[in-house]
């Protein structure tokens, strides 16, 4: 029986325009968890600066992402909502985890390989050690579950490796201090349901991403109805009509992605979507998808604009959340400093 409070932590980087993948793969799934768990939702601004961010853009994106959290239904009274840099313990624990994690572990991360490509020599040290900071975000609050998209699964596995090595390396010390041998939990990734991996509208083999240079590759949460419709109309597809069964989507990544998006937005299974649209061409399916996307996203964009009209209120939400997060984080760090053996702890 675990002694940990069931607690959710998740975060998104304020590193550009939020897109449909962030919404369906993460934000929308955060909302119902508020009913059953202690939830902490973070705007991970320290992660964002692992690649260059213009300071004014970072500031704007932080407020916009917070507005998106609120517009999507996160309740700052029920959940802790804050930006990472206001709770400095994240950086402190990340440093300790940098000393626990091994170079080989970080070198194997596919996100590092994808982002650094052949130019790893010129990337920031922060980009390389990104997963240590992510482990610190999660374990500072001893979170037991992290709702994320499929792309983050490997980072969650690394978080468990760091937790296990810390618990093991400091096992005798934990005993000496009368602390649990499982000091950090083995956090579970919560990856389920449709749309855990939304793909680019221009290339069905690449994930939809904020950093894709093509604006046409993603639907931004703030896109207006006309832009959403245009992007879906221009989305890459093949010439075949939709199949009647999921098996028929094999080898058709762009078609599968659009069906996946429809299913997620309509709360249907892919089978149900294909029962309705099997045999239909994209000339009919795309307008239906565009109508659905506009109907679902327009109220969120409207609410985001409403929240952004009062930036002082957004800053107040983040300050209040940071104050509540700091109480939990400070308690963990008081123990961790003692466990490590720092004088003065």
How far is the C-alpha of 250 from the C-alpha of 246, rounded, in Å? 8
According to the binding rule CB under 6 A, does residue 197 interact with ligand AQP?
Answer: yes
Among the listed residues 103, 112, 147, 170, the one whose alpha carbon sits nearest the alpha carbon of residue 341: 170
Question: Of 60 and 173, which has the nearer Cβ to ligand AQP?
Answer: 60
Based on the residue annotation, tell me whether 210 is a catalytic residue of this protein.
Answer: yes
Based on the residue annotation, tell me whether 115 is a catalytic residue of this protein.
Answer: yes
Question: Of 23 and 282, which has the nearer Cβ to ligand AQP?
Answer: 23
Tell me which residue has its CB nearest to ligand AQP.
25
Among the options 113, 206, 207, 250, which is catalytic?
Answer: 207
Question: Of 18 and 174, which has the nearer Cβ to ligand AQP?
Answer: 18
Q: Are the beta carbons of 22 and 225 closer than 8 angstroms?
A: no
DSSP class per residue in 257-274: HHHHHHHHHHT--HHHHH
DSSP class per residue in 187-203: PEEE--SS-SSPBPSS-
How far is the C-alpha of 48 from the C-alpha of 52, rounded, in Å? 8
Cβ of residue 19: shortest distance to ligand AQP, in angstroms?
6
Laid out side by side, the sheet with 80-83 consists of: 80-83, 38-43, 7-12, 145-147, 188-190
Cβ of residue 231: shortest distance to ligand AQP, in angstroms?
15
Among the options 113, 165, 206, 210, which is catalytic?
Answer: 210
Question: Of 26 and 255, which has the nearer Cβ to ligand AQP?
Answer: 26
According to the binding rule CB under 6 A, does residue 313 interact with ligand AQP?
Answer: no
According to the binding rule CB under 6 A, does residue 22 interact with ligand AQP?
Answer: yes
- The dihedrals phi and psi of 182, each to the nearest 5 degrees, come to -90, 70
Interacting span for ligand AQP (CB under 6 A) from 17-25, 82-90, 156-164, 337-345: 17-25
Query: Which residues, in sequence order, are bridge partners of residue 164?
Result: none
According to the binding rule CB under 6 A, does residue 26 interact with ligand AQP?
Answer: yes
Q: What is the dihedral of CA 48, 53, 59, 62, to 10 degrees?
A: -30
Cβ of residue 15: shortest distance to ligand AQP, in angstroms?
4
| Residues with Cβ within 8 Å of residue 108, at least 6 apart in sequence | none
Cβ of residue 167: shortest distance to ligand AQP, in angstroms?
25
Burial of 344 (0-12, 13-18, 19+ CB in 10 A): exposed
The SS3 call for residue 120 is helix
Query: Which residues, in sequence order, are bridge partners of residue 220?
Result: 19
According to the binding rule CB under 6 A, does residue 258 interact with ligand AQP?
Answer: no
Among the options 115, 153, 270, 338, which is catalytic?
Answer: 115
Question: Of 89 and 260, which has the nearer Cβ to ligand AQP?
Answer: 260
Contact residue for ligand AQP among 7, 8, 9, 13 (CB under 6 A): 13
According to the binding rule CB under 6 A, does residue 53 interact with ligand AQP?
Answer: no
Looking at residues 122 to 181 of the shown chain, list those that interact with ligand AQP (rule: CB under 6 A): 148-149, 151-152
Question: Of 12 and 158, which has the nearer Cβ to ligand AQP?
Answer: 12
Among the listed residues 148, 243, 234, 128, the one whose alpha carbon sits nearest the alpha carbon of residue 196: 148
Question: Of 211 and 284, which has the nearer Cβ to ligand AQP?
Answer: 211
Looking at residues 198 to 217 of the shown chain, list those that interact with ligand AQP (rule: CB under 6 A): 198, 207-211
Q: Give the interface size with ligand AQP as a residue count (CB under 6 A).
A: 20
Cβ of residue 190: shortest distance to ligand AQP, in angstroms?
10
Burial 34-60 (b: 16+ CB within 10 A, else e): beebbbbbbbbbbbbbbeebeeeebee
Contact residue for ligand AQP among 8, 12, 135, 156 (CB under 6 A): 12
Q: What is the dihedral of CA 77, 83, 89, 90, to 10 degrees?
A: 120
| Interface ranges with ligand AQP (CB under 6 A) | 12-13, 15-16, 21-22, 25-26, 148-149, 151-152, 196-198, 207-211
**Which residues are tagged catalytic?**
115, 207, 210
């Amino acid at each position: 029986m675990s002694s940990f409070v069931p607690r959710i932590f998740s975060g998104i980087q304020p590193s550009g325009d939020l897109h449909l993948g962030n919404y369906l793969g993460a934000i929308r799934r955060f909302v119902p968890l508020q009913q059953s768990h202690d939830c902490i939702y973070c705007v991970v601004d320290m992660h964002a600066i692992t690649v260059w961010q213009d300071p004014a853009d970072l500031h704007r994106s932080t407020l916009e992402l917070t507005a998106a959290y609120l517009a999507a239904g996160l309740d700052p009274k029920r959940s802790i909502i804050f930006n990472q840099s206001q709770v400095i313990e994240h950086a402190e624990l990340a440093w300790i985890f940098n000393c626990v994690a091994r170079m080989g572990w970080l070198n194997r991360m596919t996100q590092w390989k994808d982002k650094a490509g052949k130019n790893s020599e010129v990337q920031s040290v922060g980009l390389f050690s990104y997963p240590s900071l992510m482990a610190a975000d999660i374990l500072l609050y001893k979170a037991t579950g992290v709702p994320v998209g499929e792309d983050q699964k490997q980072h969650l596995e690394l978080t468990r490796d760091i937790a296990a090595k810390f618990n093991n390396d400091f096992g005798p010390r934990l005993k000496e201090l009368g602390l649990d041998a499982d000091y950090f939990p083995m956090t579970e990734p919560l990856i389920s349901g449709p749309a855990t991996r939304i793909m680019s509208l221009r290339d069905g083999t690449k994930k939809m991403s904020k950093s894709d240079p093509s604006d046409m590759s993603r639907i931004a949460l703030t896109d207006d109805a006309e832009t959403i419709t245009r992007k879906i109309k221009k989305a890459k597809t093949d010439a075949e009509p939709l199949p009647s069964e999921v098996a028929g989507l094999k080898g058709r990544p762009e078609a599968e992605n659009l069906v996946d998006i429809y299913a997620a937005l309509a709360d249907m299974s892919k089978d149900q979507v294909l029962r309705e649209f099997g045999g239909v061409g994209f000339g009919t399916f795309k307008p239906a998808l565009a109508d659905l996307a506009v109907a679902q996203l327009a109220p969120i964009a409207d609410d985001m604009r409403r929240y952004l009209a009062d930036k002082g209120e957004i800053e107040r939400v983040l300050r209040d959340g940071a104050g509540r997060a700091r109480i939990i984080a400070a308690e963990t760090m008081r123990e961790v400093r003692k466990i490590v053996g720092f004088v003065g702890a």
